[in-house]
Amino acid sequence: MLVVHIIKATGLAGAEAHLIALLPALRPLGIETELLVLAEPERRPEAFLAAARTAGIMVTTLPIYVDADPALPFRLARHLRAALPTIVHTHLIHADLHAAAALSISNYRLPIALVISRHNDDRFRRLAMVKAINRAAAHRARKLIAISDALAEFAVRVEGVPRAKVTRIHYGLDPQAYLARAVPGAIRREMGWDENVPVAAFVGRLTAQKGVETLIAAWPIVAARLTAAHLIVAGDGELRSKLQPLSPNPSVHFLGWRSDVPNLLTDADVLVAPSLWEGFGMVTLEAMAARKPVVASRVSALPEIVADGETGLLVPPSDPERLAEALVAVLSDPARARRMGEQGRARLEAEFSVRKMAERHAEVYEALPLAERG
């Protein structure tokens, strides 16, 4: 069985990291894959392409010139006629739209099943036009995979996808592979901190979705009670220029985009995920791999990952006081933090393994009607 996975990418984020983990894990299950990346000529996702090739994934790129590229379905259809995959599996809205169109073009109509993965519930997906596009693509698809129960409910309730067509498969992470490149102590040496300095870390895009403004508002409360504590903010985005002036406290450190996130999580004492909404939150699994507790908002998929009181603490979104209270509770009790971190690692290995993720995908593929699997 050959499955062509299609995604438009400009960088290496959660959906892209998911594919780098998933595709090699499908091979031992008898499923060959090709990763077809839709790339803007001026913004090619070189880091993603390099990481995929390093993982042994067959990678092809096709240009996409505008969001709704009228010629792209024809380019896709020609590629699929040559590759003759059993299944096309799309990720994110550009791939969903263009692949559904490619498989429906009368001159190129192919007996290929379409599977769609839903990775997020971004606010733009509630717009009438976007909902119509997603419904049309989902109608063409045989199955829609949601990466969380929250997203599955969003697809049914907001996008109108029939419940019988939706299945949930959580992301998975291999902790040994993830931490293989980590250098314990590297960040603390870089920052000049010893092992006893309490460190909280945020890792992600600096956008409204991620709730960093709430974290910046909460940190003075934390710093007043834990004067030795430091906050690392790793990531970049349109809000960085706004957020930095809001945090003159010398214990807040904006590090920008980092390629050494395993080092950050290995050296931090707690990961903070104060998102306003979240399709999944891959970085929470990364923290669990590093045996670190997670303080997160009680929104969307995060309660499916973080076991409140066991592997971390959940707080209301947009509530600086409650967020600060949770951070102080974890940072001031190292024994409790270590216990939560160990329980998080055990939960990762039991519930969010790459093998389990791959096996569930294989089940979806193999359950499709033979007539539609080529």
Q: Which two tokens stand for residue 162?
A: 């029939």
pLDDT confidence band for 121 (50 / 70 / 90): confident
pLDDT confidence band for 78 (50 / 70 / 90): very high
- Give CA–CA dist 148/118, Å, rounded: 9
Q: pLDDT tens digits for 208-233?
A: 999 999 999 999 999 999 999 999 99
pLDDT confidence band for 130 (50 / 70 / 90): confident
Please tell me the pTM assigned to this model: 0.90
With 80 as the cut, is the pLDDT of residue 370 above it?
A: no
Which amino acid, residue 233?
V
Sequence ranges of the chain with CATH classification 3.40.50.2000: 2-172+354-372, 177-351
Output the pLDDT for position 373.
Answer: 44
- Give CA–CA dist 215/205, Å, rounded: 13
Output the pLDDT for position 127.
Answer: 82
**Does domain 177-351 correspond to CATH entry 3.40.50.2000?**
yes
Angle at which helices 320-331 and 212-225 cross, to 10°: 50
pLDDT top residue among 131 and 261: 261
Helix (H, G, I), strand (E, B) or coil at 130: helix
Q: What mean pLDDT comes out for the span 358-369? A: 94
- Cα–Cα–Cα angle for 304, 310, 312, nearest 5°? 70
Q: Which two tokens stand for residue 240?
A: 């960085």
Q: What are phi and psi of 313, to 5 degrees?
A: -130, 140
- The 3-class secondary structure across 132-163, one letter per residue, is HHHHHHHHHCCEEEECCHHHHHHHHHCCCCCH
Q: pLDDT tens digits for 321-356?
A: 999 999 999 999 999 999 999 999 999 999 999 999
Output the pLDDT for position 105.
Answer: 82
Output the pLDDT for position 207.
Answer: 94
Output the pLDDT for position 371.
Answer: 45
Output the pLDDT for position 144.
Answer: 97
Q: What mean pLDDT comes out for the span 70-77? A: 95
With 50 as the cut, is the pLDDT of residue 374 above it?
A: no
- Give CA–CA dist 173/178, Å, rounded: 7
Does residue 328 come out as left (phi exceeding 0), alpha (psi in the -120 to 50 range) or beta? alpha
Task: Indicate the class that CATH gives domain 2-172+354-372.
Answer: alpha beta
Output the pLDDT for position 110.
Answer: 67
With 90 as the cut, is the pLDDT of residue 171 above it?
A: yes
Share of the chain above pLDDT 70, in %: 97
Q: pLDDT tens digits for 289-329?
A: 999 999 999 999 999 999 999 999 999 999 999 999 999 99
pLDDT top residue among 13 and 123: 13
Contact, 212 vs 274, CB < 8 A? Answer: yes
Q: pLDDT tens digits for 27-52?
A: 999 999 999 999 999 999 999 999 99
User: Mean of the per-residue pLDDT values for the chain?
Assistant: 93
